[in-house]
Structure 1
Amino acid sequence: MKLGIIGLPEAGKATVFAALTGARGDSPGQSAGASDPRIATITVLDQRIDYLSDIYQPKKISQARIEYLLPSEIPSVKASKAERALWSQVRNCDALLHVVRNFPALDGAPPESEKDFRQVEEEMILNDLVVVEKRLERLELDRRRGKPPEGKEPERLGACRAILEKGIALRSDPELAEAQELRGFTLLSAKPMLIILNNQDEDETLPEWSTDPTGADRMVVRGRLEEDIAHMHPEEAEEFREAYHIAESALDRVIRRSFELLNRISFFTVGPDEVKAWPIPDGTPALEAAGAIHSDIKRGFIRAEVFHFDDLKEKGSFLECKKAGLVRLEGKDYRVKDGDIITFRFNV
Structure 2
Amino acid sequence: MEVGIVGLPVSGKTTLFATLTGQPADAAFGGGKVEVHRGVVKVPDERLDKLTAIFNPKKKVPATIEYIEVGGMDSDQSKGFDAQFLQVLKNTAALCVVIRAFEDTFHPHPAGKVDPQRDIQTVEAEFLLSDLAIVENRIERLQKQVQKAKDDQKLRELALLKRCQEILEQESPLREHAFTEEEKTMLRGFQFLSAKPVVLVLNINEADIVQAAEIAARHAEKPNVRVIALCGKAEAEIAQLEEEDRAMFLEELGIVEPALNKLIRTSFELLGLISFFTVGEDECRAWTIRQDTAAPGAAGAIHTDMERGFIRAEVVHYEDFMTHQTLAKCRDHGVLRLEGKNYIVKDGDIMNIRFNV
TM-score over 0.5 for the alignment? yes
Label 1:80 to 1:256 Cα distance change in 2 as closer, same or farther (>3 A).
Answer: closer
Could you list the per-position Cα deviations for residues 132-164 of structure 1 after superposition, in whole angstroms to 9, with x for gaps in the alignment? 222222222332343625274333322221211
Matched position secondary structure for 2:179: helix
2:342 to 333, 338, 346: 333
C-alpha separation in 2, matches of 1:294 and 1:275: 16
- Corresponding position of 1:20: 20
1:313 to 297, 302, 322: 322
- Corresponding position of 1:169: 173
Could you list the per-position Cα deviations for residues 276-320 of structure 1 after superposition, in whole angstroms to 9, with x for gaps in the alignment? 211223332223323333333333332222112222222222122
1:1-348 equivalences in 2 (<5 Å):
1-22=1-22, 27-28=24-25, 30-32=27-29, 35-75=34-74, 79=79, 83-104=82-103, 106-107=107-108, 109-146=112-149, 148=151, 150=153, 152-175=156-179, 179-204=184-209, 205=211, 206-207=214-215, 212=220, 214-215=222-223, 216-348=225-357
C-alpha separation in 2, matches of 1:107 and 1:53: 46
Label 1:233 to 1:32 Cα distance change in 2 as closer, same or farther (>3 A).
Answer: same
Displacement of 1:239: 3.3
Deviates further, 218-227 or 42-51: 42-51
Q: Does the 8 Å CA contact 1:75/1:87 hold for their aligned counterparts?
A: no
Matched position secondary structure for 1:276: strand
Label 1:271 to 1:75 Cα distance change in 2 as closer, same or farther (>3 A).
Answer: same
Label 1:110 to 1:103 Cα distance change in 2 as closer, same or farther (>3 A).
Answer: farther
Could you list the per-position Cα deviations for residues 103-149 of structure 1 after superposition, in whole angstroms to 9, with x for gaps in the alignment? 23644844111011001101001101111222222222332343625
Deviates further, 311-320 or 26-35: 26-35
Q: Does the 8 Å CA contact 2:277/2:286 hold for their aligned counterparts?
A: yes
Q: Does the 8 Å CA contact 2:71/2:85 hold for their aligned counterparts?
A: yes
C-alpha separation in 1, matches of 2:53 and 2:232: 35
TM-score in terms of structure 1 length: 0.87
Q: Does the 8 Å CA contact 1:139/1:149 hold for their aligned counterparts?
A: no
Displacement of 1:92: 1.9
Unaligned runs of 5+ in 1: none
1:150 aligned partner, one-letter code: Q
Displacement of 1:15: 1.8
Label 1:176 to 1:118 Cα distance change in 2 as closer, same or farther (>3 A).
Answer: farther
Unaligned runs of 5+ in 2: none
Matched position secondary structure for 1:325: coil
Q: Does the 8 Å CA contact 2:5/2:95 hold for their aligned counterparts?
A: yes
Label 1:273 to 1:159 Cα distance change in 2 as closer, same or farther (>3 A).
Answer: farther
Q: Does the 8 Å CA contact 2:97/2:201 hold for their aligned counterparts?
A: yes
C-alpha separation in 2, matches of 1:213 and 1:78: 29
Cα RMSD, aligned residues only: 2.8
1:312 aligned partner, one-letter code: F
Displacement of 1:267: 0.5
Deviates further, 291-300 or 64-73: 291-300
Q: Does the 8 Å CA contact 1:199/1:222 hold for their aligned counterparts?
A: yes
Matched position secondary structure for 1:150: helix
2:27 aligned partner, one-letter code: Q
1:12 aligned partner, one-letter code: G
Could you list the per-position Cα deviations for residues 232-272 of structure 1 after superposition, in whole angstroms to 9, with x for gaps in the alignment? 34444333322222321132121122233234321112344
Label 1:54 to 1:168 Cα distance change in 2 as closer, same or farther (>3 A).
Answer: same
Q: Does the 8 Å CA contact 2:101/2:116 hold for their aligned counterparts?
A: yes
C-alpha separation in 1, matches of 2:158 and 2:307: 34
Deviates further, 70-79 or 184-193: 70-79
C-alpha separation in 2, matches of 1:50 and 1:236: 20
C-alpha separation in 2, matches of 1:163 and 1:2: 26
Identity %: 40
